Amino acid sequence: MASIKVGDTIPEGTFKYVPYTSELESGLACGIPTTLSTNDWKGKKVVLFSVPGAFTPTCHVNHLPPYIQKYDEFKAKGVDVVAVVAANDPFVMSGWGRVEDLKDKILALSDTEAKWSKSIGLDKDLTAVGLGIRTARYALILDDLVVKYVGVEPAAGVSVSGADEVLAKL
């Protein structure tokens, strides 16, 4: 169960990610991971959505694509940053971002071992199916680090953390 709720200030944390550069267009380039702090979002409106894993069926087919398709709608509603987070390493997240053609629009963040997600009560133990500790499927709307919306999926599938639901809450 999520411990974070509307009105809370998010806990400080860091994510690793590989910033987009044109060199990444080559399948042979890997990029260099860098660190993003949640403090970088001070004064910004952020949509952060979480998937249990890059390239996994629901995440790859149903969760991320609508965010890509509706990116301009998020920007039109004043969103400064759209980011997807998963427990995968930053190279996997970068590879997924390249396959999905995120370029520099949506940040693909690595929450290694779901540490930050655990700090807000949104990690998920998937060891029974061989996936280890992952991030739960959720979405947050943040405004100057304050939570304005929390959507945690109650079961399999995408509803409250999906692009349409989050857009409706902005």
pTM metric for this prediction: 0.93
* Residue range 84-132, pLDDT digits in tens: 999 999 999 999 999 999 999 999 999 989 999 999 999 887 777 767 6
Our answer to whether residue 59 is catalytic in this structure is yes
CATH number of 14-20+31-169: 3.40.30.10
Q: Is 14 helix (H, G, I), strand (E, B) or coil?
A: strand
How many other C-beta atoms can be found within 10 angstroms of the C-beta atom of residue 148?
Answer: 16
Per-residue model confidence (pLDDT) at position 26: 83
Average pLDDT over all residues of the chain = 92
46 touches 81 (CB < 8 A): yes
Per-residue model confidence (pLDDT) at position 7: 97
Domain boundaries, the chain: 14-20+31-169
Q: What is the 3-state secondary structure (H, E, C) of 93-105?
A: HHHHHHHCCCCCC
Q: Of the residues 46, 48, 59, 141, which is catalytic?
A: 59
Per-residue model confidence (pLDDT) at position 1: 63
Distance, CA of 122 to CA of 1 (rounded, Å): 7
CA of residue 37 relative to chain centroid, distance = 14
Q: What are phi and psi of 125, to 5 degrees?
A: -90, 110
The stretches in the chain having pLDDT less than 70 are 1, 57-58, 61, 130, 132
By DSSP bridging, strand 138-143 and strand 146-152 are antiparallel
